[in-house]
Amino acid sequence: MRLTLLVNDERHELEIAHTARLADVLRDELGLVGTKIGCGEGACGACAVLVDGRAVNSCLLLAAAAEGHSVTTIEGISRDGLTPLQQAFIAEDALQCGYCTAGQVVAATALLAVNPSPTVEDVRAGMVGNLCRCGAYPGIERAILRLGQVAPA
Amino acid sequence: MTRLVRSITEMEGRFEEKWVLVSDDEPEAWASDRPLAIVGHETPRTTGPTRVSGAARYTTDVSLPGMLHVAALRSPLAHGRVTGLNREAALAVPGVRAVLDSTDTLSFRSRSGPLYAEPEHAGALLAVVAADTLVAARAGVKALALTIDPLPFVIDVDEAFRDQRIDGEIAEESRGDVDAALAGADVRVELTVETPTQLQTALEPHGAVGWWTEGELTCWVSTQGIFDARSELAKRFSVAPERVRVVADFIGGGFGAKQGAGVEALLAVELSRRTGRPVRFINDRHGEQLDAGSRPATRQTVRLGATGQGDLVAIDSEVLTSFGMTGWRAVNTPAMTLYRCANARGVEANLKLHLRQGNAFRAPMVLEGVTAVEQAMDELAITLGIDPLDLRRRNFVDVDQPSGLPYTSNQLLACYDRVAELSGWVGRDALLEPSEDGLLRGMGCATQIWWGGGGPPSHATIRIGGDGIATVVTGIQDIGTGTLTAAQMVAAEELGLPLDRVRVTGGDTRPNVYGPVAGGSQTSPSVLPAVRGAAAEVKRTLLQLAGDVFEAAPADLDLVNGRFRSSDGALDEPYTEVTGKLGNATVDGSGMRGANPDGMRANTFGCQVAQVAVDPGTGEVRVEHVWAVHDIGRVINPLGARSQVEGGILQGMAFALSEEVAFDPTTGVPTNAWLDDYKIPSIADVPAMTIAFVDVPDTALNNVGAKGLGEPPIIPTPAAIANAFRHATGRRALALPLTRARVVETLA
Amino acid sequence: MSVLRSGYVRPTSLGEALQLLAQPGARPMGGGTDLAGLIDRGIGQVATIVDLQALALGGIRGEEGRVVIGATTTLSDLLDAQDMLAPYTALLEATAQAASPLLRNVGTVAGNLCQHTRCWYYRGPEWTCWLGGGDTCYAQVGDHRKHGLQAGDCISAHPSDLAPALIACAATVQLGSAWGDRDIDLADLYRRPTATERSLVDLEPGEIILSVTLPAPPDSSVYLRAGERQGFSFPLVGLAAARHGERVSMCAVGVANTPHVLDPVDPLAGLDGHPQSAWKRTVLATLVERSLATVAP
Ligand SMILES: Cc1cc2nc3c(=O)[nH]c(=O)nc-3n(C[C@H](O)[C@H](O)[C@H](O)COP(=O)(O)OP(=O)(O)OC[C@H]3O[C@@H](n4cnc5c(N)ncnc54)[C@H](O)[C@@H]3O)c2cc1C
Ligand code: SF4
Ligand code: FES
Ligand code: FES
Chains A, B: CB contacts within 8 A come to 173
Nearest by CB to residue C32, choosing from A1, A60, A125, is A60
With the most atoms of ligand 4 within 8 angstroms of its CB, the residue from A74, A89, A95 to mutate is A95
Which position has the higher pLDDT, C46 or B154?
A: B154
Q: Which among A49, A76, A103 is the end of a domain? A: A76
Average pLDDT over residues C185-214: 96
Q: Evaluate whether A4 touches A16 at the Cβ level (below 8 Å).
A: no
CATH number, domain containing residue A144: 1.10.150.120
A64 and A7 within one domain: yes
Confidence of residue C39 (pLDDT cuts 50, 70, 90): confident
Using DSSP, state whether C101 is helix, strand or coil.
helix
Q: Evaluate whether A119 touches A141 at the Cβ level (below 8 Å).
A: no
Give the pLDDT of residue C5. 52
Give the pLDDT of residue B215. 81
Which residues of chain A does B650 touch, with a Cβ-Cβ cutoff of 8 Å?
135, 137
SS3 letters across B671-713:
CCCCCCCCCCCCHHHCCEEEEEECCCCCCCCCCCCECCCCCHH
**Strand pairing of B216-221 and B244-247?**
parallel
Chains linked to B by 3 or more Cβ pairs within 8 Å: A, C
B688-746 pLDDT per residue, tens? 999 999 999 999 999 999 999 999 999 999 999 999 999 999 999 999 999 999 999 99
Q: In a 10 Å sphere around its CB, with 0-12 CB exposed, 13-18 middle and 19+ buried, how is residue B118 labelled?
A: middle
Among A35, A44, A87, A93, which would you mutate to test the B interface (most chain B Cβ atoms within 10 Å of its Cβ)? A93
Which ranges constitute the DSSP H helices of B551-663? 576-579, 638-657
Q: Evaluate whether B141 touches B73 at the Cβ level (below 8 Å).
A: yes
A88 and A72 within one domain: no
CATH number, domain containing residue A40: 3.10.20.30
Give the pLDDT of residue B11. 80
| A132 in reach of chain B (CB within 8 A) | yes
d(CA B656, CA B722): 7
What is the DSSP secondary structure assignment for residue B489, as one 8-state letter?
A: H
Residue A129 lies in a domain: yes
Cβ pair B619:C141 closer than 8 A = no
Cβ pair A40:C40 closer than 8 A = yes
Q: Evaluate whether B350 touches B329 at the Cβ level (below 8 Å).
A: yes
A68 and A6 within one domain: yes
- CA distances from residue A60 to A66, B189, C137, C208 in whole angstroms, order as listed: 11, 53, 28, 22
A52 and A15 within one domain: yes
**Domains: count for chain C:** 1
With the most atoms of ligand 1 within 8 angstroms of its CB, the residue from C104, C115, C229 to mutate is C115
Which residues contact ligand 4 via a Cβ below 6 A?
Answer: A 95-101, 132-134, 136; B 203, 253, 480
**Pocket of ligand 3 contains residue A133 by CB under 6 Å:** no
For chain C, the straight-line distance linking the first and the last C-alpha, in angstroms and rounded, comes to 54
Nearest by CB to residue B480, choosing from A27, A37, A98, is A98
B140-149 pLDDT per residue, tens? 999 999 999 9
A89 and A69 within one domain: no
Mean pLDDT of chain B: 96
Q: Evaluate whether B473 touches B502 at the Cβ level (below 8 Å).
A: no
- CA distances from residue C63 to B137, C71, C170, C172 in whole angstroms, order as listed: 53, 17, 16, 15
Which residues of chain B does A105 touch, with a Cβ-Cβ cutoff of 8 Å?
52, 54
Q: Which chain B residue's Cα is nearest to A96?
A: B480
Q: What is the ipTM for the molecules in this complex?
A: 0.97
CATH number, domain containing residue C187: 3.30.465.10
Q: CA dihedral defined by C172, C177, C180, C185, rounded to 10 degrees?
A: -10
Give the pLDDT of residue A153. 43
d(CA B42, CA B489): 10
Residue A42 lies in a domain: yes
Helices and strands (H, E) in chain A, number of each type: 6, 5
Nearest by CB to residue A135, choosing from B55, B56, B651, is B651
Nearest by CB to residue B744, choosing from C141, C231, C283, is C283
Question: Domain ranges in chain B?
Answer: 2-35+455-480+491-498+517-592, 59-151+200-291, 154-199+295-388
**DSSP run (H or E) holding B528:** helix B523-550
Confidence of residue B15 (pLDDT cuts 50, 70, 90): confident
C227-266 pLDDT per residue, tens? 999 999 999 999 999 999 999 999 999 999 999 999 999 9
The residue whose C-alpha atom lies closest to atom 2 belonging to ligand 2 is: C154
What is the DSSP secondary structure assignment for residue B44, as one 8-state letter?
A: -
A16 and A45 within one domain: yes
User: Is B642 a residue whose pLDDT tops 60?
Assistant: yes
Q: Which among A59, A76, A93 is the end of a domain? A: A76
| A1 in reach of chain B (CB within 8 A) | no
Average pLDDT over residues A18-43: 97
**DSSP run (H or E) holding B49:** helix B48-52
DSSP B619-647: TEEEEEEEEEEEE-BS-S-HHHHHHHHHH
- Please name the fold of domain B154-199+295-388: Aldehyde Oxidoreductase; domain 4 (3.30.365)
Residue type, C278: A
Determine phi and psi for B458, rounding to 5 degrees: -160, 135
Cβ pair A98:B482 closer than 8 A = no
A128 and A70 within one domain: no
Range of the domain at C114: 57-295
The CATH code for residues B2-35+455-480+491-498+517-592 is 3.30.365.10
Q: Count of residues for chain B?
A: 748
Q: Count of residues for chain C?
A: 297
B156-182 pLDDT per residue, tens? 999 999 999 999 999 999 999 999 999
B367-408 pLDDT per residue, tens? 999 999 999 999 999 999 999 999 999 999 999 999 999 999
d(CA B479, CA B483): 8
Restricting to B residues 610-629, those with a Cβ less than 8 Å away from any Cβ of C are 617-620, 622
Q: Which chain B residue's Cα is nearest to A80?
A: B53
A91 and A72 within one domain: no
Cβ pair B63:A31 closer than 8 A = yes
Average pLDDT over residues C205-226: 97
Cβ pair A129:C100 closer than 8 A = yes
Q: Evaluate whether A99 touches A36 at the Cβ level (below 8 Å).
A: yes
Which residues of chain A does B57 touch, with a Cβ-Cβ cutoff of 8 Å?
33
Average pLDDT over residues C106-134: 97
Range of the domain at A137: 84-148
Q: Which atom of ligand 3 is nearest to the CA of A45?
A: 3
The residue whose C-alpha atom lies closest to atom 3 belonging to ligand 3 is: A42
Lowest-confidence range among A128-137, B12-21, B429-438? B12-21
A92 and A70 within one domain: no
0.95 exceeded by the pTM? yes
| A125 in reach of chain B (CB within 8 A) | yes
The CATH code for residues B59-151+200-291 is 3.30.365.10
Q: Which chain A residue's Cα is nearest to B479?
A: A97
**Pocket of ligand 3 contains residue A47 by CB under 6 Å:** yes
Closest C-alpha among B606, B457, B460, B451 to residue B519: B451
Q: Evaluate whether B520 touches B603 at the Cβ level (below 8 Å).
A: no
